[in-house]
Amino acid sequence: MSPRPALAAAPAATPASTPVAPPVDAAFKVLAVDPSLFTAPYDAALGAGLATAGVRVEWASRALRPGEEGDLDPAAHRLTCYRRSDGPNRRRGLAGRLVKGCEHALDLRRIVRLADARGYDLVHFQWAIMPIFDIPAMRRIARDRPVVLTVHDVTPFNGAAVNAWQRRGFDDLFGVVDHVIVHTAGARASLIARGADADAISVIAHGPLSLRHAARPMPGKSPDRWRVVLFGRLQTYKGIDVLIEALGRLPDAVRHRLEVVVAGDPLVDLAPLLRRADALGLTAPLLQIVPRRLDDQDMADLLGSADSFVFPYRAIEASGVLFLVAGLGRWVIASDLGAFADVIGHDGARGALVPPGDADALAAALADAVGRRPARDAQIPGWDAIGAQTAALYRRLLAKRARAA
C-alpha cells in the first residue's frame, strides 16, 4: 500500500550542539526511523505535517523493493537500512531473515553514529523491530537528545508468529524512551496497564491517507452484486478465516447478492483458507481471492470499485487501509477495536462494528450492508494538525531536557 503526500519543504534548521537543546521556539531537525518501511504512507504524511509545523525531518529506512513507488522525499533520506537483505536486494526465507537480523544490529550502530554526526535534536522511532537490539541503541541516543517511539500496535506484530528476538523486551522499551505516542485512548490505557508511565504517553491520532491514482472502471464487477473488499497484506490477524466462516453462514438469498474480494500480498499460507472456502461452497463471484501485491493503479481501481469494506481483524490499533478508504464514502464493517471504533463509531452512521472473531455477528453485518451508505463522513484530523501536535510534543521534550541540563 502506498499513500500519497510527499514531504513538503521545511525551513532550514541549524543543528544544535549536542547535548545542549536548541531554543524551544526554533525550527529543529529530527531523525525519524522506520527501518523496514512498515508505514511509508503514514511516514510521508506525518513528515509533511511536521514540515508545516517548522520541523525538518530526515529518515532512516530501507530502499524501495522492485515494483514499489516512493512516498518519502528522496532528499530527506539519510540512511539506507538492510542494504544486503531488503529493498532491491530483498531476500526471503530463513537465510534472508538471518542476514536481515544481523543487518538490523549493524544499522542501529549506523543510526547512533548518524544522530551524533548530523546533530539531530531528537530521534523518533516509528517501529521497534528487535527490542533486544533497539533498546541499547535508543539508550545510547537518549544520552544526548530525546527519543520518541510511536507504538502503532500495542500487541507486537499484531500477534503474528515472529521469532522470540522480535518479541522479547517489547514492554521494556517504554522505560528507555523519553516519550511514547499511540493513536487511540485504548492503546494508551493498555500500555499503562502494562506498567508504562502515564505521563510519558500521548495520544496523537492517525490522519487520512489518499490514493495516488484515480480509479478506473473495473471490468468484471457484477452490477447485481454488492462488492465488499478486504485489502492489504494477507496475514493471520486480518481474520480472513473469520470472514470465510461468516460467508458460509449466509443464506443463499444473501450469497447471491454479495461479491467479496480479498486482495493483497499473501504473508501466510492460504491453502487451508482456500480448502475451507471450497468446503463451504464459496466460489466466484461470491468469494474472489487475489493473492498478489497490487500496484498503485490496481489498488485504486479495486478500492474505487468497492461498495463496502470489511476489516474482520483479530487485533489492531490503527490501520493504514482504514485511513486510506475512510474518505471514499463507503459503508465499513470492522471489528470493534482501536481506531475502527474511533473512526466508525457505535451509532451506525458510518458502518457496523462487530466483536473480533465472531463469525455470526460478521455474517449479520455483511447481510445488512447490502445497499447501505454512510449517513455522514468520518471525522479525522488533518496532517497539519497532527504535525502541530507532534511538534509541540517535541518542543516540550526539548524544553524538559534544557531545564534538566
- Residue 148, strand partner residues: 124, 179
| DSSP sequence for 127-170 | --S-HHHHHHHHHHHHTTS-EEEE-S-SSGGGG----HHHHTTT
Q: By C-alpha distance, which of 75, 39, 42, 40 is closest to 57?
A: 75
Contact yes or no for 145/19 (Cβ under 8 A): yes
Could you read off the pLDDT of 327-336 as tens digits, one per residue?
999 999 999 9
Instruction: Say how far apart CA 64 and CA 185 lie, in whole Å.
Output: 33
Same domain, 173 and 40: yes
Name the helix (H) or strand (E) containing 250: none
The CATH number of residue 230's host domain is 3.40.50.2000
Same domain, 325 and 386: no
Same domain, 134 and 169: yes
User: Does 98 fall in a domain?
Assistant: yes
Same domain, 349 and 268: yes
Tens digit of pLDDT per residue, the chain (405 long)?
333 333 233 333 333 333 344 444 446 899 999 999 999 999 999 999 999 999 999 999 999 998 888 889 899 999 999 999 999 999 888 888 899 999 999 999 999 999 999 989 999 999 998 999 999 999 999 999 999 999 998 887 655 655 666 667 789 999 999 999 999 999 999 999 999 999 999 999 999 998 888 899 877 788 899 999 999 999 999 999 999 999 999 999 999 999 999 999 998 999 999 999 999 999 999 999 999 999 999 999 999 999 999 999 998 888 899 999 999 999 999 999 989 999 999 999 999 999 999 999 999 999 999 999 999 888 899 999 999 999 999 999 999 999 987
Q: Is the pTM of this model over 0.75?
A: yes
Same domain, 108 and 184: yes
User: Does 307 fall in a domain?
Assistant: yes
C-alpha pair distances (Å), 34 with each of 81, 111, 183: 9, 11, 17
Going by their DSSP bridges, the two strands 308-311 and 331-335 should be labelled as parallel
What phi-psi label fits residue 6: left (phi over 0), alpha (psi between -120 and 50 degrees) or beta?
Answer: beta
Domain count, the chain: 2
Residue with cell 502515564: 198
User: Does 287 fall in a domain?
Assistant: yes
Same domain, 199 and 58: yes
Residue with cell 482456500: 274
